[in-house]
Structure 1
Amino acid sequence: MRSRLSLRTRVGALAALCVGVAVALTALAVYLTVSTQLVRSVDESLYKRASDTLASSLGPSSLVQIPSEAFLASDTRVAYMGSNSELILPRGEESALPVGEPELAVAQGREDHHIRTADLKGENYRMLSVRASDRFALVVGQSMAQSEWILDRVRIVSLLVGGIGVVGATWAGLSVAQAGLRPVRRLTEAAEHVARTQRLDPIEVEGKDEIARLAYSFNEMLSALNDARARQARLVADAGHELRTPLTSMRTNLDLLAQSDREGDRLPPADRAQIIDDVRAQAEELSQLMGDLVELSREDPPRESREQLDFADVVRDALTRVRRRAPSVTFTADLRPWNVHGDPHVIGRAVTNLLDNAAKYSPSDGTVTVRLHSGTLEVDDEGPGIADEDLPHVFERFYRSSEARGRPGSGLGLAIVRTAAERHDGRVSAGRAPSGGARLTMYLPGSPPPTEAEPPSSASLA
C-alpha cells in the first residue's frame, strides 16, 4: 500500500527515527557503563573492607561485642558464618544479611570467596564472603541504594536528552526537507500550471545540483512540447489552407451540376463530362493530400520494420511506377548498388516523390536523369528550374514557389522526402542541373556491396 505521508513528513520521520535509535543505543551504552562501574566500585570497597577487617583481628568473638550502629553508620553490614551454618552478628543487629548456600560454601572451605547481590527487606545489597578461618567465613554487605539512585538519574537524563534530540532532529529534518524540496515543489506547481492553463512557460532554475538539472530537463521538455505544438498548429493551418481550395472548387462544380438538374436546364454532355472529370481530379488531389498528411504525421517506424536492402533496387521499382504515370517523359538511369538499412516503403515513397516532381516540371518530350553513386541519389529535370530564393525552402511543408502555384500538387511531396531521409540519418538538398532544370539530391548512409556480381546498371526508359 502506498504511503499517504508527504515526502517532507517522511524525511522528518526518518531523521527522528535515526536520531531516536542513536540516542537509545547511546543511552543504553551509558547506562551499562555506569552500572558496571558502580558495581565494580562497590565490589572494590567490599574487598578493601573485608581485608581491613581481617587485618584488624576482628574475629567472631569480638564481633558480638561491637554495637551494630558502628557498621550501619557507613551503610555496611558485617557478619561471620560458621561451617555449621551458625551466623554471628554485631550486638543489637536486628536484621541479618540474607546469607545462603554461597556463603556456607566459603565457610566450609569449598570456595575461597564469593560475591553476589541479594535482597534484604526490599533493598538490594552487594554481599562479599571471604574465608576467615577453618571454621568461619567473613560476610560483608553494602547497600546498593546510592548506586541505584545514580542509575535512576542517568535514566531520567538520558530520556530527557533523547527526547530533546528526537524533537530537534524532527524539526531539523522537516526544515532540511522543506528547503531541499522547494525546487521540487516549484516543478510540481509548474507542471500543475501547465496542465491547468496549457501554457508552456519555463521555470526559473537556481543552483547546479541534481534538482537544478531536473529543472533544466523539465524546461527542455517544455520547449520540446512548445515546438511540437507550434509544428502541429502550423500543420493544421497549412492543411486547412490547402484543403480549402480543392473543396471549394469541388463544391462549386457539384452545385453547378445540382442546379442544372433542378432547373431542368441540363448541361451539354461535353460540359457535364468536363465537370465530372474536374470533380474526380479534385477528389484524387484530396486523397493524395490526405495520404501525404498521414505520411508526414507518422512517427519513426519501429526497428523491426527495417531491413537490409539495395538502394538501387528501390530506385528501379520507383522508376517503373513513375514511367506508367508519365509516359511522355524519358527517364535515364545510372544506378550503382548501395546497401542501406531502412524501411523499403518509406524510402520508396521518397524516391517516387522525387521522380514525380521531376516528371511534373519536365516538358512532354523532356528527359529526367537519375544517378545513384555511393548512396547519393540525384534527379535532374529539364524544367524551368528553381529560383535562388526558393532553394532553401523547397523541402518545407506546403511550400510552393510562385511558378508552381498553378500546377497540381499539395506541396508535401518534397517534405516527405526530407522526413524519410532524416529518419534514416540522411540528408537532402536542391540545386540547378546542367540542363537548366532542377537537381534534387537525397543521400542515405550505407555501404557498397562486398562484391558486385554485375556491372552498374544504365537504362533508358521512355
Structure 2
Amino acid sequence: MRAGTGGLGPRTDGAEPGTGGRASRSDGFEPETGEFDLETGDFRCDDGEFDPETGEFTPRPGGAAGDRDTLLGAVPPAAAGPGTHSGGLASRVRSRIRGLRPRVGAAWRGGGGPRSPRHRARSENAGVRLRGVELRARASEQISLRMRVALLAAIMVGLATAGISAAAFWVVRASLFADLDTQLHQRAETVVNSGLLANPANLPAAALYGSDVRVALINAQGTLITIAHSPPPPVGEPELEVASAEHPDSLRTVSDERVLAVPTGSNGFALVLAQPLDQIRHTLGGLGVVLALVGGAGVVLAGLAGATVAGAGLRPVQRLTAATERVASTGDLRPIPVTGNDELARLTHSFNLMLGAVAAAQEQQRRLVADAGHELRTPLTSLRTNVELLVASSEPGAHALPEADRREIFDDVRGQIEELTTLVGDLVELARDDAPQAVHEPVELVDVVERSLQRAKRRAGEVRFESRLVPWTLLGDATALERAVLNLLDNAVKWSPPDGVVRVGLHPVGDGTAMLEVADGGPGIADDDLVKVFDRFYRATEDRSRPGSGLGLAIVKQVAERHGGSTRAGRSAQGGALLAVQLPGQPG
C-alpha cells in the first residue's frame, strides 16, 4: 500500500503511474514514497517512521523531515509563495499524521479497518485452538477418575476386540475363498478328465457336475458354447488367453462370481466355470454381525469391569478424601482403618502416622498453653495485688503505708517481673516452631562448660564447683549448648545447701558419645519423679515454694535432642541429684 493512498497527500492527475501518488505540489511539500503494513501497523517512508499506537512520527536523520528548520516551517519570506501557509511544513506534516492516525490505528488494533486474509485466518485458528483447550480442560474436570479408568479399559478392550475381529474375519474370508477355489478346480479337473468335452455337444452333461455352477466353452477366436436357457458365465480376456494356451488357467472374481478357466486339452477350447458368491457373502455377513455383537458386549463388560475395579481400588483414596475433609471441617484426627498391604494401604498407614503426629502436636500445644496459663496465673495475681495496694495507698485520704512495707512491696513486684520475664523467655524458647537447623560448626564442649561455670559462680553464693573435663568436640550450636549447661548448673545450685559442692564431669563413654554430668549435694529426686524432671512445667511437691518456671530442664532436653543426644536423671554419690546429658562427637 502506497503512502499516496493513506492520506498523506492527494494524488494529482499529473502524477506518474508507479510513483505511489507522489505529485508536485504548489506549496513546496513533496511527500516521499512510503509503505504501510496492515499486519504490524508500521508505516515507513524515506523521511521517517510513524508509530500507530502512540502517534509519534520519528524523522530520519539527514532527510527532509529530519531538517529541523524545515520541520519548524522556517521558510524565508521571499521564498514563501501564495500557497505557503503560516504554519509551515511542520503544521502540514502534523495535520496529515493526525488524519492518518485513526485509520492506521484501527487497522493495527483490528477496530474495523481492513485486515489481510492471512491475519484473519491466523486469528480464527488461534480462537479455535483456544476453544479446543478450554473444552478439553472442562471435560477432564467433569470426568471422574473412576469413569476415566472405565473408559480407558473399554477403549483398550474395544481396540483389541476390533483387531481380533478384523483378523478373524479376514482369516475366515480367505479360508472360504480357498475352499471355493479348490472346489472349482476339482470340478473342472473331473469334467476335463472324464472326456465328455471331446465333443462340445456333451457340455450339458458336464454341467451336471455342479448344479450351482454356470459352464461354458470358449476357443481362442472367442466362440462361446453355452447351455441352452442358461445364462453364460462372464468371459473376458483372461479366459481367451487360457483358450489360446497363453496361461495354464485363470481365476478371478467378476460381478460377484468366482470365475475359473482351464484348458480342455483338445479342440482348442477352454472350460469356464462360474460360481456365485452369495453363500460366502451370507456367511461373512453373519460372521461380521456375530463379531460386532461379541465385540460390543466385550467393550461393555470391560467398561463395567474397569469401573468396578477402579471403584474398589479407589475406595481407600475415597476414605483418605473423607478423612481429610473430616479433619478440615471438624478437626477430628481419628486414624483411618487400614485393610490390605498394597500401595494404598501403605499410603493410608502413612496418612495415619501424619494424623498421629498432628494430634500429638495439638495435644502438646494444648498442654503447653494450659501449663503456661497455670504458671502465669500465680505471679500475675500477686503482681496485680501488690500494684492495687500501692495505688490504693496513694489515693487522697487513704492510710499511707509505712516505708518498710512499701519497700517490701516494690521488691516483690521487681521479683515477680523478673520471674515473668524468665518464664516468657523459656516459653518462647520451647514453643518455637522454627527449630534451628543442624549447625555444622565445630564446638569445643569444654569451652562451653567453662563459660557456663563462670556465669553460674557469679550467682551461686557460697556454693562451690568442682570440675573434671575431658576435651570433646561436636557439631552444633554453642549458644544453645551453653544455655542448657547453665540450666543444669542453676538447678544444682538451687538444690545444694549453702556450703555445698556441685561436681561437673565430662568424659567419653566409648560409643562415639560423651557424658556431661552435674551432681549436687541436695535432697535428691524421688524415684517416681526421675522420669518426669525433664518434662515441661514439672515441679516436685517440695519445689513449689522455690523460684523457677519448671522449664529449665525441659530446655536442656530439647537442646540435647536437637544435637542428637539424650538426657537422664539419677542419684549422685553424695545422695543428691545427678543430671546427665549424652552428646555425640569426638575427642578434642
TM-score of the two chains, using structure 2 as the length reference: 0.67
Instruction: Select 1:345's aligned residue among 445, 467, 479.
Output: 479
Number of aligned residues: 443
Distance 2:452 2:208 in 1: 121
CA distance change for structure 1 residues 303 and 138 in 2, over 3 Å: closer, same or farther? farther
1:127: Cα distance to partner? 1.9
Distance 1:96 1:263 in 2: 143
2:111 aligned residue: none
1:239: Cα distance to partner? 0.7
Corresponding position: 1:173 with 2:306: yes
CA distance change for structure 1 residues 333 and 58 in 2, over 3 Å: closer, same or farther? same
Corresponding position: 1:125 with 2:257: yes
* SS of equivalent to 1:392: coil
Distance 1:82 1:26 in 2: 46
Larger mean CA deviation between 5-14 and 244-253 belongs to 5-14
Return the letter of the residue paired with 2:143: L
Distance 1:256 1:351 in 2: 40
| Contact 2:187-2:210 at 8 Å conserved across structures | no
CA distance change for structure 1 residues 41 and 389 in 2, over 3 Å: closer, same or farther? closer
2:431 aligned residue: 297
1:160: Cα distance to partner? 1.5
CA distance change for structure 1 residues 369 and 354 in 2, over 3 Å: closer, same or farther? same
Q: C-alpha deviations, 1:42-76, integer Å up to 9, x for none? A: 1101111221232234549616x745994797222
1:43 aligned residue: 181
Instruction: Select 1:241's aligned residue among 358, 361, 374.
Output: 374
Corresponding position: 1:315 with 2:449: yes
1:288: Cα distance to partner? 2.0
Corresponding position: 1:286 with 2:423: no
1:384: Cα distance to partner? 3.5
| Contact 1:126-1:144 at 8 Å conserved across structures | yes
1:90 aligned residue: 226
CA distance change for structure 1 residues 59 and 399 in 2, over 3 Å: closer, same or farther? same
TM-align CA RMSD:
3.2
* SS of equivalent to 1:434: coil
Instruction: Select 1:23's aligned residue among 157, 161, 172.
Output: 161
CA distance change for structure 1 residues 264 and 137 in 2, over 3 Å: closer, same or farther? farther
1:157 aligned residue: 290
CA distance change for structure 1 residues 197 and 301 in 2, over 3 Å: closer, same or farther? closer
Distance 1:109 1:20 in 2: 51
| Contact 2:192-2:264 at 8 Å conserved across structures | yes
1:9 aligned residue: 147
Corresponding position: 1:252 with 2:385: yes
1:361 aligned residue: 495
Distance 1:254 1:99 in 2: 129
CA distance change for structure 1 residues 52 and 236 in 2, over 3 Å: closer, same or farther? same
| Contact 2:476-2:563 at 8 Å conserved across structures | yes
* SS of equivalent to 2:587: coil
Superposed counterparts of 1:376-415, under 5 Å: 376-415=515-554
Return the letter of the residue paired with 1:155: G
* SS of equivalent to 2:216: strand
2:65 aligned residue: none
| Contact 2:317-2:344 at 8 Å conserved across structures | yes
CA distance change for structure 1 residues 340 and 148 in 2, over 3 Å: closer, same or farther? same
Distance 1:68 1:296 in 2: 116
CA distance change for structure 1 residues 207 and 140 in 2, over 3 Å: closer, same or farther? same
2:281 aligned residue: 148
Return the letter of the residue paired with 1:359: V
Larger mean CA deviation between 414-423 and 264-273 belongs to 264-273
Larger mean CA deviation between 350-359 and 314-323 belongs to 314-323
1:431 aligned residue: 570
2:558 aligned residue: 419
Return the letter of the residue paired with 2:571: R
* SS of equivalent to 1:140: strand
Distance 1:60 1:424 in 2: 114
Unaligned runs of 5+ in 2: 1-136, 509-513
| Contact 2:203-2:216 at 8 Å conserved across structures | no
2:248 aligned residue: 112
| Contact 1:71-1:78 at 8 Å conserved across structures | no
1:415: Cα distance to partner? 1.1
Distance 2:436 2:196 in 1: 104
Return the letter of the residue paired with 2:381: T
Q: C-alpha deviations, 1:162-193, integer Å up to 9, x for none? A: 22222233333333444444444444434433
Distance 2:467 2:296 in 1: 89
Q: C-alpha deviations, 1:228-248, integer Å up to 9, x for none? A: 332222111111100111222
Return the letter of the residue paired with 2:275: Q
| Contact 1:127-1:139 at 8 Å conserved across structures | yes
1:302: Cα distance to partner? 5.5
1:365: Cα distance to partner? 4.4
CA distance change for structure 1 residues 415 and 82 in 2, over 3 Å: closer, same or farther? same
1:460 aligned residue: none
1:56 aligned residue: 194
* SS of equivalent to 2:226: coil
CA distance change for structure 1 residues 217 and 195 in 2, over 3 Å: closer, same or farther? same
| Contact 2:516-2:580 at 8 Å conserved across structures | yes
Instruction: Select 1:227's aligned residue among 354, 360, 365.
Output: 360
Q: Which has the higher contact order (CA 8 A, sep 6+)?
A: 1
| Contact 1:300-1:423 at 8 Å conserved across structures | no
1:76 aligned residue: 213
1:192 aligned residue: 325
* SS of equivalent to 1:23: helix
Distance 1:285 1:45 in 2: 114
Q: C-alpha deviations, 1:392-420, integer Å up to 9, x for none? A: 32111111122222222110110111222
Return the letter of the residue paired with 1:403: E
Distance 2:566 2:494 in 1: 23
* SS of equivalent to 1:444: strand
Distance 1:440 1:116 in 2: 106
Among all aligned residue pairs of Structure 1 and Structure 2, give the percentage whose two residues are the same amino acid. 50
| Contact 1:68-1:90 at 8 Å conserved across structures | no
1:118: Cα distance to partner? 2.0
Larger mean CA deviation between 183-192 and 19-28 belongs to 183-192
| Contact 1:306-1:344 at 8 Å conserved across structures | no
Distance 1:188 1:357 in 2: 50
Distance 2:565 2:218 in 1: 108
TM-score of the two chains, using structure 1 as the length reference: 0.84
| Contact 1:115-1:129 at 8 Å conserved across structures | yes
